[in-house]
Amino acid sequence: MHPLTLRLDRMQSQNFMLGGDPLSLERIRGVLVRLEDTIIFSLIERAQFAQNPRIYQRGAFPELTQPSTPKPGATRGKLPLLPCNLIYILRSPDEYPFTTDLPKPVLQPLKFPEILYPNTVNANPSIQSFYVRSIVPRITRRATAVLAASKRAKGITGDEEYEDDGNYGSAATIDVEALQAISKRVHYGKFVSESKFQENPAAFIPHILNPNRPALEALITKPEVERKLLVRLRKKAATYAQDFGPDGDFKRDAEGNVEAIKIDVDGVVDLYESFIIPLTKEVEVDYLLQRLKGLSDDDIDKLKQKKVAT
């Protein structure tokens, strides 16, 4: 896949410059619930277009990787930067890069408060791979089938009838938004881990000093919360996937039936259940395993003696 320069103009889900505790579980839950909407809408938008696998093939667009004269908003070896994106690039505590050679921001970076413990956890390579290999083919299945039928009607058959509708720019723009939203959702697990660690360090420290992933995962997992999340997600996806008429009701056909939905609702739920939630737990545990790095024995003892938050 082409390295993607990600944008922040629509993705800032928590303002770290305002007051309030960024590690409040209530505040974190609010962010995660809003990200559900962002992810669902991004997937609905991407489902409009065919799979367009050429987007993800490195070197498929030589005119972008070897520009004779650099153009405004373009960098060598990348898809063009989207408009108005060179403001703050991946400097927020909840943003993580998909590439290592990002351009410098135009404006001076904000001085964000130190919220998370220094760590090197970045799950974006896994997110990008899963998105391209599993998510895109599934959510674009319907659009790809419609495309194939229209091509067959024009006498185009075989491999040429599938997958590619030429909407590379539109599809890639949505890919960027979807990838960044999923990345933010997964990496927000660090905030959850830090919040729970600060509530009761003594419960975590033994399993960090003698690494015990199952024990750490048990400390951060709440099955009932996950169950409610999946129920809520299904309701949202089923609602957002339908078209609304001028009166705010769902559009219906001549027989009064609700028109076809715009996305595979089961696919959205499966994305969370089979990938986002498990990967978030991995990020949470990986973060915790680095939580004591660099601390002295005295520092760790002080943490052990910290009173449990009530």
pLDDT tens digits for the chain (310 residues)? Answer: 443 434 333 444 565 555 568 899 999 999 999 999 999 999 999 999 999 998 888 888 887 765 444 444 444 344 433 333 333 445 677 788 887 776 777 777 767 778 899 999 999 999 999 999 999 999 999 888 888 788 888 888 887 767 788 899 999 999 999 999 999 999 999 999 999 999 999 999 999 999 999 999 999 999 999 999 999 999 999 999 887 777 767 777 666 666 667 889 999 999 999 999 999 999 999 999 999 999 999 999 999 998 776 5
Q: pLDDT value at position 4? A: 40
Dist CA 133 CA 148 (whole Å)? 20
Residue 78: the pLDDT is 41
127 CB contacts (<8 Å, ≥6 apart)?
A: 179, 182, 183, 186, 279
**CATH number of the domain that 265 lies in?**
1.10.590.10
Residue 6 lies in a domain: no
Residue 13 counted as domain residue: no
**Is residue 35 in some structural domain?**
yes
pLDDT given at position 16: 54
Long-range contacts of 270-278 (CB under 8 A, 24+ apart): 271/43, 271/135, 272/229, 272/230, 272/233, 273/230, 275/130, 275/134, 276/182, 276/185, 276/186, 277/226, 277/229
Q: Alpha-carbon distance 176 to 135, whole Å? A: 13
Number of domains in the chain: 1
Task: Decide if 265 is inside a domain.
Answer: yes
The number of residues making up the chain comes to: 310
Burial grade of 42 (CB within 10 A; 0-12, 13-18, 19 or more): buried
Q: Which domain holds residue 160?
A: 25-304
- Domain for residue 76, yes or no? yes
| 309 within domain boundaries | no
pLDDT at 91: 61
pTM: 0.83
In a domain, 295, yes or no: yes
Q: What are the C-alpha distances in Å from 128 to residues 27, 98, 133, 182, 218?
A: 27, 8, 9, 9, 27
